[in-house]
Amino acid sequence: MAFFFPPSFRIVENALDAATLRQRVIANNIANVDTPGYKSQRVEFESILKEALQENNPTSFIGKRTDPRHLSIETTGGPEEVRASVSTDPTTWVENNGNNVDVEYEMTKMAENQIWYNALVEETNSFFTRLREVIKEGR
């Protein structure tokens, strides 16, 4: 089944997961706007993906060694293996109670994330439409 799904599709899949996670994290930040000492969280994905793309890592591949003297052929990673990560900045605060949630900022990030998510869904739908057309033509 992996034959039908190129590495770029895997990147879009991981980006959708990151957008979903980001939406949950932003909603959690907004829900805790009045919680004393709460520190907002952020989801990092794009910067991690950009770094992986710049490194130009190949996809995972392990070669079979037929002799112990042979060099190992083994690489891991690659842009399609990038996952989102959640981080917290404990050093900042906006409110006197130690809380650093800025509702306006969070709402802006939520709107940006929704646009990004919708674009990723459109790309996924486009991929499956093209795949469906290829399958129809093969009949």
Each domain of the chain, given as residue ranges in start order, spans: 2-137
Residues counted in the chain: 139
- The two tokens of residue 6 are 């190129």
Residue 136 to residue 139: CA distance in whole angstroms: 6
Q: Which of 6-10, 28-32, 101-105 has the lowest mean pLDDT?
A: 6-10
Q: Quick check: 92 pLDDT over 70?
A: yes
Tell me the pLDDT tens digit for each residue of 27-61. 999 999 999 999 999 999 998 888 888 875 555 44
80: how many CB neighbours lie within 10 A of its CB?
A: 20
Q: Quick check: 104 pLDDT over 90?
A: yes
Q: What is the pTM of this model?
A: 0.75
Residue 78 to residue 97: CA distance in whole angstroms: 42
Supply the mean pLDDT for the chain: 83
Q: Which of 4-8, 74-78, 100-104, 127-131 has the lowest mean pLDDT?
A: 74-78
pLDDT at 94: 74
